[in-house]
């Protein structure tokens, strides 16, 4: 029987994996690093502090990875001022997203090496630059070089290590370097290998010297340390940064609608592979996602033409979530008349996820459009 403390630890970690990424749009670098650390430490926490059966958790882990990467991608619409860097990040994000979907469907590990997660480290690179320098100064050649370096020299070896060789770094160090069994405590390993302490001290000193050498050769900073994201462009019209005016003037069927459908469908398919009790086909999931997003877009256009303004992202999310829950409940009520059924719990989870991603995408896309329209 699972102990209450085990379940508490499990749900605290899972909650952190869902809520910490929501800080990425406002605090990009610290929030994504926190999400990365939680991702790296979650299974270790479960192993050390619980007796939970972790079989199958790797699938959930990969789905939660995609969740926070999707939030990070959407945040580039809000924050990034270098248009070419945004375009590179968009390609890297969808390249990885397609790769994970193919892996979940075909279960071929080499796919994760062909479609490496370069987007995450490229995002970290951009936000690290933005701490002190204006990202608009980065040239296309420099950005392509940075993406290529991350792809070839960081992500390919990492993807090979994790997904092809399937090696655990901690186990590898214990067995190969120290010749100890994998269950040997680190205190015992250090006690038997005291030479490690001065070697680590030397390595730390060399890293600090190298870091200082690099920092002294960087160009002068453009501003003081900026942890929080920069303010969004000032509203050009209306009460929502030009959002309502943009919505009224836009064609209903456009690239944004297509991107939302593709993005949310792929994310939903990934989650559907790991959530228990999901019986819908991938095509049915994609059609359902498209239907709900189109209904939401119709409603948004109708409200915009009536002069309704969303004063906050939270209010927009709550209203649209209620609308989407109503659609699901109505669908669930009608299905038995056609000898059909759905898992209401799973469906409501997908709707909540869909509403969150679409709300953030819509709001931040208008910021993106306003920023580069102003630059023109």
Q: Tell me the per-residue pLDDT of 275-309, one tens digit each, with 9 for 90 and over.
A: 777 777 888 888 888 988 999 888 888 877 777 77
CA proximity to 48, closest of 17, 1, 9, 11: 9
Work out the pLDDT band at 270, boundaries 50, 70, 90: very high
Q: How far apart are CA 281 and CA 123, in angstroms?
A: 33
What integer pLDDT is reported at residue 141 of this predicted model? 97
Kindly report the pTM of this predicted structure: 0.89
pLDDT band with cut points at 50, 70 and 90 for residue 329: confident
Least confident of 18-27, 143-152, 310-319: 310-319
Q: Is the dihedral of CA 145, 147, 152, 154 positive or negative?
A: positive
Cβ contact 229:139 at 8 Å: no
pLDDT at position 239, please?
42
Rounded Cα distance, 92 and 26, in Å? 22
Write out the DSSP string of 160-200. IIIIIS---HHHHIIIIIT---TTS-HHHHHHH-TTHHHHH
Highest mean pLDDT among 53-62, 100-109, 225-234: 100-109
pLDDT for position 134: 96
How large is the average pLDDT for residues 322-345? 71
Mean pLDDT of 103-108: 91
Q: Which residue would you say has higher pLDDT here, 349 or 155?
A: 155
Q: Poorest-confidence range of 103-107, 185-189, 238-242, 277-281?
A: 238-242
Q: What is the mean pLDDT of the chain?
A: 86
- Tokens of residue 354, six digits: 């869909």
241-259: per-residue pLDDT in tens?
A: 444 445 545 666 788 999 9
């Amino acid at each position: 029987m699972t102990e209450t403390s085990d379940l508490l630890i499990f749900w605290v970690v899972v909650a952190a994996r869902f809520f910490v990424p929501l800080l990425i749009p406002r605090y990009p670098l610290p929030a994504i690093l926190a999400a990365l650390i939680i991702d790296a430490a979650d299974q270790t926490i479960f192993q050390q502090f619980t007796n939970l059966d972790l079989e199958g958790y790797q699938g959930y882990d990969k789905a939660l990875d995609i969740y926070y990467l999707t939030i990070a991608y959407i945040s580039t619409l809000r924050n990034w001022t270098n248009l070419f860097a945004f375009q590179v990040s968009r390609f890297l994000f969808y390249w990885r997203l397609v790769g994970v979907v193919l892996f979940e469907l075909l279960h071929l590990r080499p796919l994760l090496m062909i479609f490496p997660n370069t987007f995450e480290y490229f995002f970290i690179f951009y936000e690290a630059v933005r701490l002190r320098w204006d990202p608009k100064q980065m040239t296309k050649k420099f950005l392509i070089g940075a993406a290529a370096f991350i792809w070839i020299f960081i992500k390919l070896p990492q993807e090979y290590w994790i997904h092809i060789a399937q090696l655990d770094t901690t186990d590898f160090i214990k067995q190969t370097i120290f010749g100890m069994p994998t269950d040997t405590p680190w205190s015992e390993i250090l006690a038997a290998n005291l030479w490690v302490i001065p070697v680590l001290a030397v390595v730390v000193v060399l890293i600090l010297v190298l870091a200082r050498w690099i920092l002294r050769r960087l160009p002068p900073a453009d501003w003081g340390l900026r942890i929080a994201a920069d303010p969004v462009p000032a509203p050009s019209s209306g009460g929502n940064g030009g959002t309502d005016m943009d919505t009224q003037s836009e064609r209903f069927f456009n690239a944004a609608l297509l991107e939302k459908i593709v993005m949310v469908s792929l994310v939903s398919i990934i989650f559907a592979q790991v959530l228990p009790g999901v019986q819908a086909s991938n095509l049915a999931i994609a059609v359902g996602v498209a239907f709900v997003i189109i209904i939401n877009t119709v409603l948004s256009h109708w409200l915009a033409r009536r002069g309704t303004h969303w004063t906050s992202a939270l209010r927009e999310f709550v209203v649209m979530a209620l609308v989407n829950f109503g659609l699901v409940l109505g669908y669930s009520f009608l299905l038995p008349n056609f000898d059909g059924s759905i898992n209401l719990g799973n469906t409501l989870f997908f709707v909540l996820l869909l509403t969150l991603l679409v709300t953030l995408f819509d709001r931040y896309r208008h910021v993106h459009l306003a920023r580069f329209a102003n630059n023109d």
